[in-house]
């Protein structure tokens, strides 16, 4: 013990002496830019929200920019102009309903920032040729977040006819509608709420080689290997409490390439946050002189019995 004790002290002193704190000075700073978000949907007014970008060292909340001047163009012709956001802090063109087959361009200017510009079109709706479900098991159990749950498992069979003239990108969501209630102090029902419950909350991975990535209840895929052909895609259904005869809702969106790449980069970025050894991920943007996304999506929603 007499020989070991001094050695122990020396090791501690060595470890403490190895600590070194680096002070970062003159960290390169970039001027803030406008970050714009807008997803256009046919038959709906166009909603835009604009933020101020932050430095990598800035932990402040995102700041909404309410005083920008926006101008919207359709096929090169100005169709609307806004000089401020509404009281909800977003810019809204209520009378402009975007249509497939046209190019939309948006500019935003604000004192102290570079003017930003973005352009996109609206994809045509996808053509569904077949839609069916198969129930495989109505009495399976699964271990989710430390609790045993009852599951019904099955699969969705979706047939699509692809347009051979364009590169097409898709987002597919499957969900059920559930109901929740709020009660007053006497136990009487006060409000009833209808909400979406994803069919992939606990199993959103697919062995289908066409699925490139998933986000929440949504699968993303493209026609890169099947351009111009009719094809079928099968996806798993696994949901707590669903039984044969229930109504399922299938939401198929034809999305622009810009939106597809933006979502793909966001998934990679979020996945990298838990990996300290990952390479920096650059978020895709189609905003010139700024950040964010300006894109289009056409949605079809189908209701089908789970049989």
Instruction: Write the DSSP assignment of 80-122 as a string of letters.
Output: EEESS--TTSSEEETT----TT-EEEEEEE-TTS--EEEEEE-
pLDDT band at 210 (very low <50, low <70, confident <90, very high): confident
At residue 174, the 3 state secondary structure works out as: strand
At residue 179, the 3 state secondary structure works out as: strand
For residues 58 and 41, is the Cβ–Cβ distance under 8 A?
no
Cα distances from 306 to residues 66, 140, 176, 249, in angstroms, run 46, 16, 10, 10
Per-residue pLDDT at 293? 97
Per-residue pLDDT at 138? 63
Average pLDDT over the chain reads: 81
pLDDT digit string (tens) for 75-86? Answer: 999 999 999 999
Contacts of residue 69, Cβ cutoff 8 Å, sequence gap at least 6:
81, 82, 83, 108, 109, 110
More confident residue, 86 or 246: 86
Lowest mean pLDDT of 1-5, 212-216, 233-237, 279-283, name the range.
1-5
Tell the CATH topology of 34-121.
Answer: Immunoglobulin-like (2.60.40)
Which residue from 107, 77, 121, 56 is spatially nearest to 290, judged by alpha carbons? 107
pLDDT band at 204 (very low <50, low <70, confident <90, very high): very low
Q: How far apart are CA 48 and CA 69, in angstroms?
A: 12
The pLDDT of residue 271 is above 90: no
Per-residue pLDDT at 47? 97
pLDDT digit string (tens) for 10-53? Answer: 444 444 455 555 555 555 567 899 999 999 999 899 999 999 99
The pLDDT of residue 238 is above 80: no
Per-residue pLDDT at 140? 55
Tokens linked to 278: 């990952």
Q: What are phi and psi of 268, to 5 degrees?
A: -65, -40
Contacts of residue 268, Cβ cutoff 8 Å, sequence gap at least 6:
281
More confident residue, 227 or 287: 287
The pLDDT of residue 1 is above 50: no
Cα distances from 172 to residues 85, 168, 200, 295, in angstroms, run 32, 13, 11, 17
Per-residue pLDDT at 142? 54
Rounded to the nearest 5 degrees, what angle is found at the Cα of 285, between the Cα atoms of 281 and 288?
A: 130
Domain 127-281+298-305 sits in CATH at 2.60.40
Per-residue pLDDT at 10? 45
The pLDDT of residue 133 is above 60: yes
Tokens linked to 78: 């100005």
The pLDDT of residue 146 is above 70: no
Residues 232-257 have a mean pLDDT of 80
Per-residue pLDDT at 14? 47
At residue 43, the 3 state secondary structure works out as: coil
Same fold across 34-121 and 127-281+298-305: yes
Q: What is the residue extent of each domain of the chain? A: 34-121, 127-281+298-305
Tokens 């402040």 identify what position? 60
């Amino acid at each position: 013990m007499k020989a070991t004790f001094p050695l122990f002290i020396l090791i501690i002193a060595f470890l403490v002496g190895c600590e070194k704190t680096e002070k970062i000075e003159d960290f390169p700073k970039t001027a803030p830019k406008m970050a714009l978000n807008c997803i256009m949907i046919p038959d709906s007014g166009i909603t835009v929200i604009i933020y101020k970008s932050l430095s990598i060292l800035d932990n402040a909340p995102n700041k909404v920019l309410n005083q920008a001047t926006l101008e919207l163009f359709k096929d090169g012709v100005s169709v609307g102009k806004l000089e401020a956001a509404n009281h909800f802090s977003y810019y809204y063109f209520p009378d402009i309903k975007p249509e497939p087959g046209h190019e939309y361009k948006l500019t935003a200017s604000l004192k102290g920032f570079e003017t930003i510009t973005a352009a996109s079109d609206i994809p045509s709706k996808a053509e569904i040729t077949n839609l069916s479900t198969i129930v495989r098991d109505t009495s399976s159990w699964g271990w989710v977040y430390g609790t045993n749950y009852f599951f019904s498992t099955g699969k969705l069979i979706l047939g699509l006819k692809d347009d051979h003239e364009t590169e097409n990108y898709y987002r597919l969501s499957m969900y059920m509608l559930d109901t929740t209630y709020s009660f007053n102090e006497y136990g009487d029902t006060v409000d009833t709420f209808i909400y979406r419950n994803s069919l992939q909350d606990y199993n959103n991975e697919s062995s289908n080689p066409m699925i490139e990535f998933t986000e929440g209840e949504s699968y993303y895929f493209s026609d890169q290997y099947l351009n111009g052909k009719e094809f079928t895609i099968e996806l798993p259904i696994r949901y707590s409490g669903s039984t044969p005869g229930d109504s399922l809702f299938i939401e198929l969106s034809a999305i622009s390439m810009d939106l597809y790449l933006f979502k793909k980069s966001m998934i990679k970025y979020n996945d990298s946050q838990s990996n300290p050894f990952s390479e920096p991920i650059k978020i895709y943007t189609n905003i010139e002189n700024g950040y964010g996304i300006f894109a289009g999506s056409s949605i079809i929603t189908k209701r089908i019995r789970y049989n």
